[in-house]
Structure 1
Amino acid sequence: MTRDYPPGDDPVPEAGITQARPYAERVVAPALSPEPGLTGPASPAARARALPVLLRCLAVLAAGGLVFLSVPPRPTWWLAPIGFAVLGWVLHGRRARAGLGYGLLFGLGFMTPLLAWTGVFVGPVAWLPLSFLQALLVGVACAAIAAVSGLRGRVLWAALLWVAGETLRAVVPFGGFPWGKIAFSQPEGPFLPLAALGGTPLIALAVTLTGFGLGELARLLAARATAPRLLAVPALAAVLPLAAGLGAIPLASAAPDAGEATVAAIQGNVPRAGLDFNAQRRAVLDNHVRRTEELAADIRAGRVPQPDLVIWPENASDIDPYRNRDARERIDRAAKAVGAPIAVGAVLVGDDGLPRNTVILWDPQAGPVAEYTKRQLQPFGETMPMRGFFRLFSAAVDRAGRFVPGTEPTVFPMGPARVALATCYEVAFDGVVRESVANGSTLLAVPTNNATFGRSEMTYQQLAMDRVRAVEHGRSVVVAATSGVSAIVLPDGTVTQSTGLFAPAALVERVPLRAAATMADRLGAWPERAMVAAAVAALVVGLVSSRRERSAARDVSPAAGNDE
């Protein structure tokens, strides 16, 4: 096929239409070109062709920035559909290789600022490669979106392919990194109730479908294609997801069916932020014991109600209380003082000498009675894949741990509640949280430690995930962080209380308990699987159609084959 655009950036012709340059352009123009190796000023025609490409590159980079700006702590959820509208417009009619390039730029505009927290204390050696890798995976999804942009129903196929791309990023590499899921940008918007129906994939489908619908609508109007039959489909695509989200609000506001419980979240704080916070292990433990005893004094004085259960953060005790008698006595003293069971985030050392990131259920009378060990470990933090290879670039890799993952979801019986646990990084993973909640829970607790990321946006991004999980599973969520932000989240995603950063605090709240499974829980991973299957089918059709169109173009203009 001949090209009227720079290589890799030429539009795919609409179905049934072939494009070929005039004979003079195909035969005479090459003859007048300079000899290979000779250079000269670019012709006006070349500059004219390059300018649109440059503008599209800037547009997708800015569009990725808009999606980043939709992410908390900003409440600007509506920027995400606008970003996807721009992306969809640019990708329309492009070849897959152009889609890859534009998608990479879009991903860099989104992922680079989103993941800046990964370099707070280790610098760009972690931040920039991770951002580039995630952006490259976004580019792969955008290449597929470009490949289906000539099909009927392309707006829907594009949204489904974005969901498929998120599924890929949640799996590879190194166990996946789903931090940039579009659903986590929507704890404030009308799309949030959809989490109760189909989890994070359904929110992503709705947001991107709205965005791609808006982009297609704008493109058609700019091309003066105003026929109602052409505008109807993208208009519906832009409006229906919003209507569906508003219609799902009752599902996200279901009444409690398992009573209520008074919960407390303890934020003891750390002496200083940074990678060496756990060198201050005794001070961190003492902080959480002290703040729990202060809560106990407030209870005795009648200033706050007696909690049924208390949640401590991840790493509240990095001193193994089974091996250290003093740590055990201090935790036991705190539990007795507050008069309620405590979920204690602790680092335990197994018989193999390797650490486990564990939550211990500590009863005020019986002491430690149950454990949950974190199952989804953080690569480059709690584990270090390819340690020898990455050591070539930075000795900081040796600061990564050698933690052993747990294998089973565990529910803690704590007062009237049955508490599911998702420790810190785990809350980003759909399946991990789903398995924990589906294990007979009525409440979800998220003990977390964000001290290694300073005052970055990381903790606010994670709180957005907690809010989405509350709606997805219809559970109140208790977030306890070592240094903030700790919070109490209701089943509709509302935050009733939260703390500041790096300040001791205790949150006490009476929250509803729910045992019923949401539709998202009952369907599990099947909606996502169906979306991915439909996306792959559309991609196959798009690739086959594109190949046939190129073959037809060669038959019409054999000389054009030299331009492939």
Structure 2
Amino acid sequence: MVGAATLWWLALPPRGWWVLFPLGTAAFMLALAGRPLRERLWLGALGGVVHYGMALRWLTDFTGAGYLAVVALETALLVLVAAVSFAVPTRAGTITGQHVWPGWWLATPAALVLLEAVQNRFPFGGFPLPSLGFSQVDGPFMGAAPLGGSLLVTGLAALTGAAGVALVVGSSRTRAAAAVSVVLAVAVPPAVPDAVGTAASGTLDAAIVQGGGARGVHVIQSVDATAEHLRAARGITGSPDLVLMPESIAHVEGPIGRTSVGARFADLARRLGTNLVVGTTEAEGRDRFRNASLLWGPEGNLLGRYEKHHRVPFGEYLPLRDLVEPLSDLTRLVPRDAIAGRGPAVLEPRGVPPMGIVISYETFFADRVAAAVRAGGQLVLAPTSASSFTGQDVPAIEVAASRLRAKEFGRTVLQAAPTGYSAIIRPDGALTELSGLGTRELLSASVPLRTGMTPYARMGDTPMLALLLLIALLSLHALRRRAV
């Protein structure tokens, strides 16, 4: 089980050895095979402590107690995966038994997909950063993202590992089904057309500004991020259609349009004759603020704004603040609560089509990008920060999430971070530009615009969740038959 947990960790970004996730799934199943429920539970707990203990260690940059709590929660979820994984008694090296459902080997992949679905939604609206699906952005299963999103990508990768187990220890009928599954899982996704269901609608000349500076800064406003990004923007030549700056690089009291800081961005947009998008935080009273991205047009006038909908729990607001404040020092890191945004996730610049937008943490949630695309966004802007993290784990996971979202929805994604990673990602999920960490950089490219919706953009996770329910019902029926 320790080996399985380690393989899963090695598969995740920034290591990204995608093939180790299906291999880890096979190791996970073999560790549980033939075990009674009690042993499966403690083995699942062991795997969870090892895997999440390594995968979430970046949380220790903020809070040791929070790190332990999150590892415990994620471990508990993996224990449930181990509990429901279909374990059939082992005899002479062969998995056998009376009334065994031929699809017994599907239960573990289904449980791992359900684990990801739960992580996308629980707790406090979801915590998907440790999702195993992010390990697959460079693998062949990524091709299935426009059809079934990250859940299908994860499911196909896990299915391949489970099929490997079935090929070794299953009955002849099971081995035949497993062989067909492997062939389909590996061959079909790469054959899916890029950005299926969408159509090209032109190009856009874009520039991304990364100001650079120290990492591990918990409050980006403690450095002069505004000046650094305005200084970096001096290197922009010509008049691009769009200039994108990162999340939270300007901090003001009240609406930024009435401040000298806002005037500096207006002057930049006017000088370049471009649409300029800038991430700001606007204090509202002593205990609240707005995390917004604002759009200045080529004449220096404010054309629109988007305020972050999906806030970071314990990062941008404290859930149950009245209860938490007396028990922890988290109020030092989160002295104010962000106000949840409202309205469509789209900006409408001058002279170019509408642009969808998500801010930072929202990139991890497909429903927020779906909202941007359904509102008419022909590309997706993803201003972010990630400057609080000393290592590369979270920035790398965020790039993986942006690549997955690009592939799912058939849209270019432009990611801008003050100290990296900033990235330009094509609608097929391929990276065309990637910045360094801590460096001052300008990324620029002519990027494709697209209209229309992929099958996943239309249907979301509903088909995959229905399939999971079907597998769960078949597994329960098989267990009842064994009990007779």
TM (normalized to structure 1)? 0.78
C-alpha separation in 1, matches of 2:143 and 2:38? 36
Residue 233 of structure 1 is matched in structure 2 by 177
User: Which shows bigger deviation, 478-487 or 386-395?
Assistant: 386-395
Q: Which amino acid aligns with 1:68?
A: W
C-alpha separation in 2, matches of 1:284 and 1:161? 44
Residue 217 of structure 2 is matched in structure 1 by 274
Residue 345 of structure 2 is matched in structure 1 by 410
Q: Does 1:376 align with 2:310?
A: yes
The Cα of 1:364 is off from its aligned counterpart by 3.1
Residue 134 of structure 1 is matched in structure 2 by 74
Taking structure 1 as reference, are residues 151 and 318 closer, same or farther at Cα in structure 2, changes over 3 Å only? farther
Q: Does 1:172 align with 2:122?
A: yes
The Cα of 1:136 is off from its aligned counterpart by 1.3
The Cα of 1:527 is off from its aligned counterpart by 1.8
Taking structure 1 as reference, are residues 543 and 318 closer, same or farther at Cα in structure 2, changes over 3 Å only? farther
Q: Does 1:81 align with 2:16?
A: no
C-alpha separation in 1, matches of 2:466 and 2:74? 24
8 Å Cα contact 2:196/2:455 also seen in 1: no
Q: Which amino acid aligns with 1:292?
A: A
User: Which shows bigger deviation, 203-212 or 127-136?
Assistant: 127-136
C-alpha separation in 1, matches of 2:331 and 2:39? 36
The Cα of 1:327 is off from its aligned counterpart by 0.7
Taking structure 1 as reference, are residues 271 and 211 closer, same or farther at Cα in structure 2, changes over 3 Å only? closer
Taking structure 1 as reference, are residues 363 and 191 closer, same or farther at Cα in structure 2, changes over 3 Å only? same
SS at match of 1:431: helix
Unpaired runs of at least 5, structure 1: 1-59, 221-226, 300-305, 550-564
Residues 257-309 of structure 1 show CA distances to partners (whole Å, capped at 9, x for unaligned) of: 211111111111245532143223xx1111111212332xx33xxxxxx3111
Residue 155 of structure 2 is matched in structure 1 by 205
Q: Identity over aligned residues, as a percent? A: 29
- Alignment map for 1:17-416 (pairs within 5 Å): 60-120=1-61, 122-146=62-86, 150-220=100-170, 228-248=172-192, 250-252=193-195, 257-271=200-214, 273-280=216-223, 283-295=224-236, 298-299=237-238, 306-320=239-253, 322=255, 325-350=259-284, 354-391=288-325, 394-400=328-334, 401-414=336-349, 415-416=351-352
The Cα of 1:511 is off from its aligned counterpart by 0.8
C-alpha separation in 1, matches of 2:10 and 2:324? 31
Residues 317-345 of structure 1 show CA distances to partners (whole Å, capped at 9, x for unaligned) of: 12257256221121112212222111111
User: Which shows bigger deviation, 251-260 or 166-175?
Assistant: 251-260
Q: Which amino acid aligns with 1:247?
A: A
Residue 363 of structure 2 is matched in structure 1 by 427
Q: Which amino acid aligns with 2:49?
A: L
Choose 1 or 2 for highest CA Rg. 1
C-alpha separation in 2, matches of 1:272 and 1:168? 31
Q: Which amino acid aligns with 2:187?
A: A
TM (normalized to structure 2)? 0.91
8 Å Cα contact 2:345/2:358 also seen in 1: no
Unpaired runs of at least 5, structure 2: 90-99
The Cα of 1:412 is off from its aligned counterpart by 1.2
8 Å Cα contact 2:269/2:275 also seen in 1: yes
Aligned residues: 471
8 Å Cα contact 2:86/2:107 also seen in 1: no
Q: Which has the higher strand share?
A: 2
C-alpha separation in 1, matches of 2:458 and 2:230? 40
Taking structure 1 as reference, are residues 392 and 69 closer, same or farther at Cα in structure 2, changes over 3 Å only? farther
SS at match of 1:371: strand
Taking structure 1 as reference, are residues 367 and 341 closer, same or farther at Cα in structure 2, changes over 3 Å only? same
Residue 479 of structure 1 is matched in structure 2 by 415
C-alpha separation in 2, matches of 1:437 and 1:148? 45
C-alpha separation in 2, matches of 1:208 and 1:191? 10
C-alpha separation in 1, matches of 2:196 and 2:461? 23
What's the Cα RMSD here? Answer: 2.3
Runs of 4+ in 1 over 6 A off after TM superposition: none
The Cα of 1:395 is off from its aligned counterpart by 1.3
User: Which shows bigger deviation, 518-527 or 530-539?
Assistant: 530-539
